[in-house]
Amino acid sequence: MDPARRGSADRGSAPGAGSRPGPPRGPGSAVRLPPDAGVSAAPFLGGGVPGGRRSSRPDGHGFGNGCPRRAGTEERPQAHTPPEGLPLPALLSPGPGGPPSPAAPGRVTFPAPAPSERREMLPKAESSDHIAAWAGPAVPRAPTLPKAVSSEFLAGGWAGLSPRAEPGELPVLSRPLGRLGPSDVCDLLPDCPGRAPEDGAFRITVVTWNVGTAMPPNDVTSLLHLNTGETNDVDMIAIGLQEVNSKINKRLKDALFTDQWSELFMDVLSPFHFILVSTVRMQGVILLVFAKYYHLPFLQDIQTDCTRTGLGGYWGNKGGVSVRLSIFGHMVCFLNCHLPAHLEKAEQRKEDFATILHMQQFEGPVANGILDHDLVFWFGDLNFRIESLDICFVKYAIDSNVLSQLWEKDQLNIAKSTWPVLRGFQEGPLNFPPTFKFDVGTNKYDSSAKKRKPAWTDRILWKIKPPSKGLGTGGHRPSQGVLSVSQLCYCSHMEYTVSDHKPVAAIFAVQFASKVDKPLVEIYVADEWSRPEQAVVRYKMAVGFHRSSWDWIGLYRVGFRHPKDYVSYVWARSDDGERCLEKQLCAQVMFSEEALPKGNGEYILGYYSNTSSSIAGVTEPFQGCRFPYPGQRRAAALQTAQAAAQKRMTVHLSSWLPNPVVPARAR
């Protein structure tokens, strides 16, 4: 693709071909660049994402936030049939004044049964307002699966729950906000399929949230499931945001400092050992991908791209941003989209999605297009609405917790069976209330004059590349049956009220048939650095590793936030580096005394590859001791040398004098 098409006002000028990214910076300080490092960014203060090449290419994937204008469309071949729901009984009228059934024209009423009889007749949704746990493919729930806490239970004042909600407001559990996760529901449901992950699975959490230009909340731990004990098992987190404040003054500030939402997620996730792998921004659409630090050497070929579709491709308020990477040798793509709004724009959403798929292309011998990847996660504010049903009927179905009555009228479910571009995309059952549109600061659906109909606008889907025969692009044999995906959880989070959308999260267990689990660079270091002479680093590069004279080894404190968040670094410029690579020998470098940490704690070493713009090898944590500042050491050495010289001078003078020198006072 023509590199000129990737320039944009969002991104600023790209560096020249000979520019070299500098190593990361320490927390709370300006970016410290190695000599001659030509990054095109202003210093990032206060722990922000560092500067680097802002590009969708491998030499600048990590922190780009711009994108080119795209145009054109492409039809993709035909679609997957949506999962069928449970057999749907006729919806019962709540009595006089209730909404009519959509099954027949005109106003149709039914005799209202007794409350106990109604409870038996109405099927219950499988999720509370907070959580819906689900495992396996998108199929109807087996009758033996337990029912989760439904909205009818919540409104009925069951033990541990809040009193009946006010009319028009969805009830929530009477527990502190940010304290409910999948495990809480699973405690009530012993057979909940979300309790135990599959053995050996790589677990990925995907979050989407239209934040409506709001400021970040104080706490996002429940959104990321950080207080449920499950995060210890999650390996990667992808967060897609839409409508982040992108006014001129905010964009200027974000050009110098990291945006507040990215800062929040890095601050919250770093204590859990999640590192920002890559991020991309297109105006108000942001995608962040985090992973546990020990997975970093196995995340390679990281690239980003984005496509504008607003105003005919000139404006980035709508469109898609993506991060693609190789995970243990398998190509995975995360695509965060914000598609056109309004009920009547379904065809426009189809065209924009086809444009995004067509225009986003990546470099490399495999997986050049989004759908060429082994696994694709598609999520965001997709803006699909509920057709045909009036707002009274939709709200009644939600209040009665008969969400299955709305599934067949959901535009995305309809599109799966009619749009070729959606062939193969899967989604878990929508067992949570529609996530749009709410009055900000409440759990009440839109009460303004517009009276927007509730809808599941915020969605998370995935697609596995089907097996193919023969050789693929570039003569490479495509993978066949290389992975499987199970969805462990698909839920909304009602406790967040800063936006008119509710965030949605999903947890996936990905099983890889095979793994590339040998790092490109192996690093050897002492278990403890208690003396400066112990700060010796030996490293061994794998055969085929593309070494660069601009590679460096960073020293990170445990809990670092991103690959540029280092304490210090040393260039990986061993004099015999090429010979070591050729003969598979260990090269050696040493941290200078000035570069050693000045505090006790646990540290990690990481080898940063300039060629791939990623960490190619890490160590286990080791203990670092407090070293005196070089100035302190020099002052102490000078003082010792002066004392020794004075002593020698005294001895020398004493040997020449016939009598000892007696002080005047003694005479």
418: nearest Cα among 80, 75, 138, 85: 80
Q: Has residue 103 got a pLDDT over 50?
A: no
Tens of pLDDT, residues 173-231: 333 333 334 334 333 333 333 334 456 899 999 999 999 999 999 999 999 998 765 54
- Contact assessment for residue 391 and residue 451, using Cβ atoms and an 8 Å cutoff: yes
Residue 585's pLDDT is: 80
Lowest mean per-residue pLDDT among 7-11, 296-300, 327-331, 457-461: 7-11
Burial readout 561-594 (b: 16 or more C-beta within 10 A, e: otherwise) = bbbbbbbbbbebebeebeebbeeeeebebebeee
pLDDT at residue 433 above 50? yes
Residues ≥6 apart with Cβ < 8 Å to 412: 382, 384, 427, 456, 459
pTM for the predicted model, two decimal places: 0.69
Residue 621 or residue 255, greater confidence: 621
**CA dist., res. 313 & res. 72, Å (int):** 9
- Per cent of the chain over pLDDT 90 is 48
- pLDDT of 573 reads 79
Instruction: Look at residue 526 and give its three-state secondary structure.
Output: coil
Q: Could you report the per-residue pLDDT of 108-149, keeping only the tens digit for each?
A: 333 444 444 433 333 333 333 333 333 333 333 333 323 232
Element (H, E) at 505: strand 504-512
Contacts of 392 (CB under 8 A, 6+ apart): 98, 99
Q: HSE of 239 in the Cβ direction (CA atoms, 13 Å)?
A: 27
What's the gap between Cα 241 and its chain centre?
Answer: 10
Average the pLDDT over each of 134-143, 349-358, 533-542 and give the range with the smallest value: 134-143
At 512, phi and psi to the nearest 5?
A: -95, 130
**What's the average model confidence in pLDDT over 426-446?**
97
Measure the CA–CA gap between 251 and 243, rounded to whole angstroms.
13
Going 250 to 252 to 253 to 258, the CA torsion angle's sign is: positive
User: What pLDDT score does 600 carry?
Assistant: 83
Q: Across the chain, what does the average pLDDT equal?
A: 73
Q: Among 514, 504, 469, 347, which Cα is nearest to 415's?
A: 347
Of 558, 568, 634, 631, the closest CA to residue 596 belongs to: 568
pLDDT range class, residue 577, cuts 50, 70, 90: low
